[in-house]
Amino acid sequence: MDHNKLYEIWCENATEDQDLVQELAGIKNDDEAIFDRFYTSLQFGTAGLRGVIGAGTNRMNIYVVRQATQGLANYVLNKYGTGAVAISHDSRIKADLFMIEAARVLAANGLKVYITSELQPTPVLSYLVRYFKCQAGIMVTASHNPAKYNGYKAYGEDGCQMTDAAAAAVYDEIQKLDMFSDVKIADFDEAVKSGMIEYVDDSVYDSYLEKVLEQQVNPGICKGADLKVVYTPLNGCGNKLVRRVLKAIGVEDVSIVKEQELPDGNFTTCPYPNPEIKEALQKGLELCEKVQPDLLLATDPDSDRVGIAVRDYDGSYRLITGNEDGVMLTNYILSCKKAAGTLPENPVVVKTIVTTKLMEKLCEKYGCELKNVLTGFKYIGEVILNLEKKGEENRYLFGFEESYGYLSGTYVRDKDAVVASMLIAEMAAYYKKQGKSLAEIIDGMYAEYGYYLNQTFAFEFEGAAGMQKMADMMEGVRNDIPQEIAGYKTVKVSDYLLKKETDLVTGATADITLPTSNVIAVNLENDNAVIFRPSGTEPKIKLYVTAVGKDKDDALAVCQSLVKSAEQILGL
Query: Angle at CA 134, nearest 5°, toward 129 and 138?
Result: 55
Among candidate residues 22, 31, 39, 94, the one with its CA nearest the CA of residue 62: 94
Tell me how far apart the alpha carbons of residues 156 and 162 are, in angstroms, rounded to a whole number.
5
Question: Terminus-to-terminus CA distance in the chain, angstroms?
Answer: 34
Amino acid letter, residue 212: V
Tell me how far apart the alpha carbons of residues 466 and 24 are, in angstroms, rounded to a whole number.
25
- DSSP category for residue 108: H
Helices (H), 214-275: 239-248
User: 333 CB contacts (<8 Å, ≥6 apart)?
Assistant: 217, 397, 398, 408, 423
Tell me how far apart the alpha carbons of residues 117 and 172 are, in angstroms, rounded to a whole number.
31
Element (H, E) at 210: helix 202-213
Q: Which residues of 507-535 are buried (b: 16+ CB within 10 A; e: fewer)?
A: eeeeebeebebbbbbbbbeebbbbbbbbe
Among candidate residues 209, 210, 229, the one with its CA nearest the CA of residue 424: 229
Considering Cα of 117, then 123, then 125, then 131, what sign does the dihedral take?
negative
What are the φ/ψ torsions at residue 432 (nearest 5 degrees)? -60, -35
C-beta of residue 86 within 8 angstroms of C-beta of residue 129: yes
Instruction: Kindly list the catalytic residues.
Output: 143
The CA distances from residue 158 to 136, 150, 222, 257, in Å, are 8, 24, 33, 35
Tell me how far apart the alpha carbons of residues 545 and 560 are, in angstroms, rounded to a whole number.
10
C-beta of residue 299 within 8 angstroms of C-beta of residue 417: yes
Helices (H), 53-201: 62-80, 95-108, 122-131, 164-175, 188-194
Helices (H) and strands (E) in the chain, counts: 18, 23
What are the φ/ψ torsions at residue 414 (nearest 5 degrees)? -145, 165
C-beta of residue 97 within 8 angstroms of C-beta of residue 176: no
Tell me how far apart the alpha carbons of residues 180 and 205 are, in angstroms, rounded to a whole number.
36
